[in-house]
A and B are shown apart, each in its own frame.
Chain A
């Protein structure tokens, strides 16, 4: 039985209206939707096309093949398709922007009415899971899964090195609040992990990091390795329960989304609160616990990580943190927030089709330059990695920083 079958009612609902492929709406802030369609230009590269592929897979006219796999893996899971598909979403955005868009679903849900969009990302992920079952996934995805199974991280790095970045920082391994560092900050973007730890120490926050933290499971879930993801999630939840953790703070957008949204589906209700680091920093700044010493005199523009913004609705806190840094002048790109363009790295695309990921990221350079910003800030180590590659390739004089790095720099820690 195909895993896709559970999505059949969603597949049938798709209107094939093509708003997810390419929509411009001045009224609700959209300027183009699907980043992959923007590059590849055929219908099979948009959510609409993926839903049609799903339709014919269910109907039997199409069979899973390497070509189907290539197609469904060419997706960043950025969820712009779902955002533009939200029933009455555009009028809500017109009235109250991204903030109201974030508020409306829980309000409607309280009245028993769901305004969920078509679950296009879930459909893609179900097809990817079928591809994994059939061994059709890209080689890079196979390698990533093999590494995660062996090392508990997708980067083929020894598990023993997970806390190498923390050497000399004297961070305890037990506390009510635990920093969920994530694989990318642990092994590839250690500067973000270090900045975060230094900020929290300077703010006198009590927190711990866990040497036996495993992959959050998100890269596996996004790429169809569902069973292995469940193993990772169950381990992490058991570990956190054993440590009696009360608050879990995720450094990256991907981890925050996985822990908040995906973990409860796999492991049941979580016995701890989940925060993204930007939310904690905004609270610490409001409480006066973060002392800035050095102004950063620069125009900064903020890139909304798709999984933090569109999926989790966190738009304001990273901006509040940036605005609090003395000297920083925050300038917005267009489109932004709910309609922001993806960096190109999500959904495993950076691994499965790195050239396409770079092309998508490069599309954002004119938007950044139009703001006149010299610094591009984000709240996701994965976005940072792709933008570093994009900016290096384009030889543009734009610095790419995580919000935590700017805070640490201004605090002088």
Chain B
């Protein structure tokens, strides 16, 4: 954007939100040209992404509406952004288009809590840690505890990015818990969905009412169809009884069979699965003598009643034995220390990934059906091992310097999540370039088995467009054109609004 136009637009925005909440200087703009660590993998060599033209902090849906109308008048892109810990590039502008970033982190209030309805109404800029804190005061939980973005990630980014979550095996993905939305449409209209579309309803939160479920098109859309300014989500009672259990299994098929049944019976809240063959040699040398060359499942189980809890654990034990499972006796230790994998977000400091696992070039996740998991993991490993030198760097915590693959089995609905992560040597541009190419291959393999989260999928439309059915693409484009004829809402996300490419 030309400097003169930038200045004029900034002045107009100041008239809406106040001068304190508009920034158009280079330093601020560049600090918004990055997301989670996946970004740092790409930016040095990327000509595709860049800084916004300015950053604005709105405080209400009305302010967002006025900003969107202004952006429409000037044909300037709008990109809503929360904690900025997303990895999909949905919250970073395309370099050639720039745009206005709406930093939503001041729209961070809990607006209402409906005890009788077990629902909470929040603004999208609220961070996960704050939501847990506020709900704990009411003696309830959101169930889903948040994505990798740790406690600093915002809920708005989570629902816009279709994120899975800690505790998804029990409570589903975050978006399965969303009831109503308040959305500022690309023309500036403010709509409310579900039960709140009824003018007579003020405080009853339900998703499916008198008409189609319009919530769905905004969830996971990366802001392509509007800016979410409020939403309601389910809350749950906090289970009184909880334990973290660990079992080992003789092979992957047994492990998968157990995980599927465990989730199907509703016994599991959160679960991590590790396949022995995916571990780097350094870890195999530690784990092998301790547990044998077996595959491990670590999971949390919960109940509201002591009797039910005891019976549930017995049933789990029977189920594990059915698949050749053996108890790894860590339950007592975890309980004595007062920790559980349910608190996964609290387990880690922000630097855990970088400092413990090494200077991460990238990680990426596959979302696929549970039985596909060995195939997904196998092909990712094969690609990575095709050039281990490219994916090398020091991982001080485990003494490894090559590919490291960590696998999480989400379980929910038979869905697996393969979490691949490697160190990368940033100081060697050639090596870095090769590493990027290998990662692209891994993402391609993930996409062939279902979906890939992260890795800039949000705006790397080539992964999506060559796999989506033409009728599906056409329908999305029709929606986009109808709602956003000037193509101002986060152009590029999901491959929408970039017809010229």
Contacts and interface: CB of A to CB of B under 8 A. Distances in A.
Interface stretch (B338-346, B410-418, B443-451): B338-346
A53 B31 contact: yes
B152 A88 contact: no
B129 interface: yes
A77 B129 CA distance: 23
Nearest to A90: B346
A8 to B, nearest CB: 7
A62 interface: yes
Contacts of B339: 91, 94-95
Contacts of B310: none
Contact of A16 (B25, B34, B127, B356): B34
B239 interface: no
Contacts of A56: 30, 33
Interface string A81-113: 001111111110011000000000000000001
Interface string A3-14: 000001100111
A361 interface: no
A15 B353 contact: yes
Contacts of A242: none
10 contacts: A15-B353, A23-B150, A23-B152, A24-B151, A44-B31, A52-B30, A53-B30, A87-B356, A94-B343, A118-B354
B359 interface: yes
Contact of B37 (A14, A61, A116): A14
A351 B461 CA distance: 49
A171 B390 CA distance: 65
B349 A13 contact: no
Contacts of A217: none
B149 A27 contact: no
B350 A15 contact: yes
A353 to B, nearest CB: 16
A121 to B, nearest CB: 13
Given A24-B127, A42-B55, A116-B355, A15 B346 contact: no
A117 B351 contact: yes
A167 interface: no
B57 interface: yes
Report the contact-size class of chain B (Cβ under 8 Å from the partner).
35 or more
Interface string B136-178: 1000000000001111110000000000000000000000000
Residue of A43, A85, A118 with most chain B CB atoms under a 10 A cut-off: A43
B43 A19 contact: no
A41 B345 CA distance: 23
Contact of B85 (A16, A28, A68, A113): A16
B130 A91 contact: no
B150 A17 contact: yes
A67 B85 contact: no
B80 to A, nearest CB: 14
B23 interface: yes
Contact of B84 (A43, A53, A59, A84): A43
Nearest to B336: A95
B241 interface: no
A317 B210 CA distance: 65
A215 interface: no
Residue of A19, A44, A67, A90 with most chain B CB atoms under a 10 A cut-off: A19
B152 A19 contact: yes
B43 A17 contact: no
B434 to A, nearest CB: 17
A18 B396 CA distance: 23
A238 interface: no
Contact of A95 (B132, B338, B351): B338
Contacts of A115: 355-356
Contacts of B351: 13, 15, 85-87, 117-118
B36 interface: yes
Contact of A88 (B25, B27, B356, B359): B356
A16 B352 contact: no
A26 B37 CA distance: 26
Nearest to A70: B27
A187 interface: no
A84 B152 CA distance: 11
B130 A86 contact: no
Residue of A12, A22, A53, A91 with most chain B CB atoms under a 10 A cut-off: A12
B44 interface: yes
A59 B44 CA distance: 6
B49 to A, nearest CB: 11
Contact of B359 (A12, A52, A83): A12
Interface in B11-36: 21, 23, 25-28, 30-36
Contacts of A23: 127, 129, 150-152, 350
Given A49-B31, A62-B30, A17 B350 contact: yes
A16 B105 contact: no
A42 B21 CA distance: 9
B347 interface: yes
Contacts of A30: 129, 151
Given A22-B105, A42-B23, A94-B339, A14 B30 contact: no
B27 A90 contact: no
Given A61-B30, A65-B27, A91-B348, A118 B338 contact: no
Contacts of B132: 24-26
A62 B36 contact: no
A23 B148 CA distance: 14
A62 B132 CA distance: 37
Residue of B26, B43, B355, B359 with most chain A CB atoms under a 10 A cut-off: B355
B226 interface: no
A13 B33 CA distance: 17
B369 interface: no
A20 interface: yes
